[in-house]
Structures are given as C-alpha cells and as structure tokens.
C-alpha cells in the first residue's frame, strides 16, 4: 500500500499541504482531484522525492520510501521531461537502461508500449516532431518502461484527444489489473469518475473527501425529484415542515430538493404525502462534479485565511 501520512509543506507563508493523508492499494486506481493550487503537484513531488515535506511520511508496503524504493515508482511529472532531439524508441530504451532493465527486455517493452499507445508508427521520429498530445503518450510510456509497482501521474490526461484518453486509460487500467498502485491528478472529473476505484478531493492542502464515489455519495446531501399534486407553494411548505430540506430548483412541477445527510427519506416522503398525492419521488445520483462542488464549497475545515497560494505563482 502507498501511504501518504499527514504530509505538511509550506512555501514561505503559503501553506501548500496541511496534514494531508491518503492511501492507494496495489490494484487500485486513485483519482486525486482538487481546486487549482490545492496542493496536488506538491503532494506528488513529495512522493517522488523531488521535494521534502516539512512533516509527515510516505510509505510503500509499510516502509518509509527511500531512494532505492523509488526505483519501483514510475512518475509522469507536470513539466514533461523528455529529450526533444532523441528518437522516441531510443529514448524509451535509454530510460529503461537507467533503471537497470536489460537491453532486450527494454526494446521489447518499448515496442509493446508504443503499440498500446498507438505510436508504433512514430517510433523512429524525434520527440520534438510529435504533437504535444503524442509527446504526452511517450511520457506515459517513459513512466512505465521499467514496469513500476507504483505510478504517480500529474494530470496525464490534460490536453489529450478522446482517442488519446482511451489509449492512456486502457494502459493504466491494464497496469492496475496487473497489481500496480496508480494515482493520478486531474480536473476531468467525468473521467475520474469513470476510471477510478477511489477518489480524494483536496482543498487548500487538506483532504476534504476520500473514498469510492459511492461512499462520497453516501456522505453527501441527497437530491430527489419530487412532484406533489398540490397547488403552487407545496415545495416551500415541504421545506418549512421538515428541517434539513433545501429546495435546489422549485421552478418546475417536479422540484429538485436536497435532503441533509440526517434526514430520513421516508420521513420526507410522508411529509410530502401529507401535502397531497405524490406523483414522483426519485433519487438523483450526484455526479463526481456535483460532489466536488459540494466538498470544496462546504465551509467546514476551510483554512483559506492561512492560505495565500494564489499570490505565490511568481516564485515558482
């Protein structure tokens, strides 16, 4: 298991990470999402050892991660680091050899990865001749070339076309199925919801929600489409009679209503029935995008006062 345990990190006055913890199991794809400047890249850099935390630990299989253990890690950094003049295939073989992979194995793996990423035709092109999206696919191949047990990817899907997304998702899923622990950051929440076994939502350096999307749904306010065959004003009446009911959209005959986590939906149904015949009472499944909005706008635990990150970009 990859464990990020109570990581904190400041840049001067800026609190980039504030006691952040999460775990990723082998065979699990973990989506790391958050607002801009929330601390995702900082956390990933700490996992890869290019940045030290002020406090906290990163462990893999129970042991504090050190330089040697990081040889089992594959990393796709935000700032893509390929040699522009080198040919795609040669570059992958070269990187594999840096990790101690035998040349024949490296050549075989490089060929397989390029085929899986639909780049077989470009193997002998220089990296700089590839489009940015294709360079990104090469970057993924570079992260995978030594068959890492842990993969840490900073926004691997940004800027890819739908075929690129599918190719990359397929490669990552195959790694996860083979037992790798994979964590990636992304702002593409539909994609994260589709691909990931678990999700962490970070805001201002703190984890505000962590679990499967189903678990996050269970913790969030639930939404229902309700239609009571009564005169106008029934939805306001429902809200007034039952604390914890919020009207999200009362303009249509079937209103969209939110129930706080402690409100029993059967009680809400009974209250609606008392107002008139209930024609509709349907749970609406929240998307990850909605759960994200709720998690990052919810005031609880907000430390915006100590977080001056939006003013610190120039010092990068």
Point out which residues bind ligand ATP (CB under 6 A): 11, 14, 16, 34, 36-42, 309, 312-313, 315-316
- Residue 9 or 70: the one with the smaller Cβ distance to ligand ATP is 9
- Residue 34 or 56: the one with the smaller Cβ distance to ligand ATP is 34
- Residue 42 or 271: the one with the smaller Cβ distance to ligand ATP is 42
User: CA 148 from chain center: how many Å?
Assistant: 20
- Spell out the long-range contacts of 101-107 with Cβ–Cβ below 8 A and sequence spacing 24 or more: 101/145, 101/146, 101/147, 106/145
Closest approach, Cβ 13 to ligand ATP, in A, equals 9
Closest approach, Cβ 205 to ligand ATP, in A, equals 7
Inter-residue contact 42 to 20 (CB < 8 Å): no
- Residue 12 or 100: the one with the smaller Cβ distance to ligand ATP is 12
Closest approach, Cβ 49 to ligand ATP, in A, equals 16
Q: What is d(CA 173, CA 200) in angstroms, rounded to the nearest whole number?
A: 18
Closest approach, Cβ 186 to ligand ATP, in A, equals 9
3-state secondary structure of 49: coil
Residue 32 structure tokens: 């790391």
Closest approach, Cβ 24 to ligand ATP, in A, equals 17
DSSP lists the bridge partners of residue 9 as: 17
Cβ burial of 292 (10 Å; 0-12, 13-18, 19+) is buried
- Residue 174 or 308: the one with the smaller Cβ distance to ligand ATP is 308
User: CA 300 from chain center: how many Å?
Assistant: 21
Q: CA 136, 142, 147 angle in degrees (round to 5)?
A: 130
Closest approach, Cβ 175 to ligand ATP, in A, equals 23
- Residue 129 or 308: the one with the smaller Cβ distance to ligand ATP is 308
| Residue nearest ligand ATP by beta-carbon distance | 309
Q: What is d(CA 275, CA 57) in angstroms, rounded to the nearest whole number?
A: 56
- Residue 10 or 25: the one with the smaller Cβ distance to ligand ATP is 10
Task: Give me the half-sphere count of Cα atoms (radius 13 Å) on the Cβ side of residue 264.
Answer: 4
* DSSP structural state of residue 121: G
Closest approach, Cβ 154 to ligand ATP, in A, equals 7
Closest approach, Cβ 151 to ligand ATP, in A, equals 17
Closest approach, Cβ 316 to ligand ATP, in A, equals 4
Inter-residue contact 143 to 105 (CB < 8 Å): no
- Residue 67 or 316: the one with the smaller Cβ distance to ligand ATP is 316
- Residue 46 or 114: the one with the smaller Cβ distance to ligand ATP is 46
Q: CA 283, 288, 292 angle in degrees (round to 5)?
A: 110
Q: What is d(CA 200, CA 155) in angstroms, rounded to the nearest whole number?
A: 14
Residue 196 structure tokens: 């990931």
């Amino acid at each position: 298991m990859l464990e990020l345990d109570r990581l904190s990190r400041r840049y001067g006055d800026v609190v980039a990470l504030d006691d952040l913890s999460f775990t990723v199991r082998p065979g699990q794809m973990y989506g790391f999402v958050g607002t801009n400047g929330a601390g995702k890249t900082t956390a990933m850099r700490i996992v890869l050892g290019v940045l030290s935390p002020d406090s906290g630990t990163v462990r893999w299989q129970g042991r504090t991660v050190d330089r040697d253990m990081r040889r089992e890690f594959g990393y796709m950094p935000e700032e893509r680091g390929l040699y522009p003049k080198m040919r795609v295939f040669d570059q992958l073989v070269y990187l594999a050899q840096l990790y101690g992979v035998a040349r024949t194995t490296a050549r075989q793996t490089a060929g397989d990865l390029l085929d899986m990423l639909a780049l077989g035709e470009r193997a002998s092109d220089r990296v700089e001749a590839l489009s940015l999206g294709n360079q990104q696919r090469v970057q993924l191949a570079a992260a995978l070339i030594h068959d890492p047990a842990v993969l840490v990817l900073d926004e691997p899907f940004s800027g890819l076309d739908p075929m690129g997304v599918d190719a990359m998702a397929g490669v990552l899923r195959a790694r996860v199925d083979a037992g790798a622990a994979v964590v990636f950051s992304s702002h593409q929440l539909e994609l994260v919801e589709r691909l990931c076994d678990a999700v962490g939502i970070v805001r201002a350096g703190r984890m505000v929600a962590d679990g499967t999307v189903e678990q996050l749904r269970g913790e969030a306010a639930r939404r229902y489409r309700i239609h009571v065959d009564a005169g106008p004003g029934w939805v306001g009446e429902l809200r007034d009679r039952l604390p914890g009911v919020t009207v999200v959209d009362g303009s249509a005959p079937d209103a969209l209503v939110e129930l706080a986590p402690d409100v029993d939906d059967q009680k809400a149904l009974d209250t609606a029935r008392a107002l008139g015949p209930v024609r509709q009472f349907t749970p609406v499944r929240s998307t990850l995008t909605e759960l994200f909005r709720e998690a990052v706008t919810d005031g609880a635990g907000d430390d915006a006062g100590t977080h001056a990150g939006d003013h610190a970009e120039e010092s990068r």
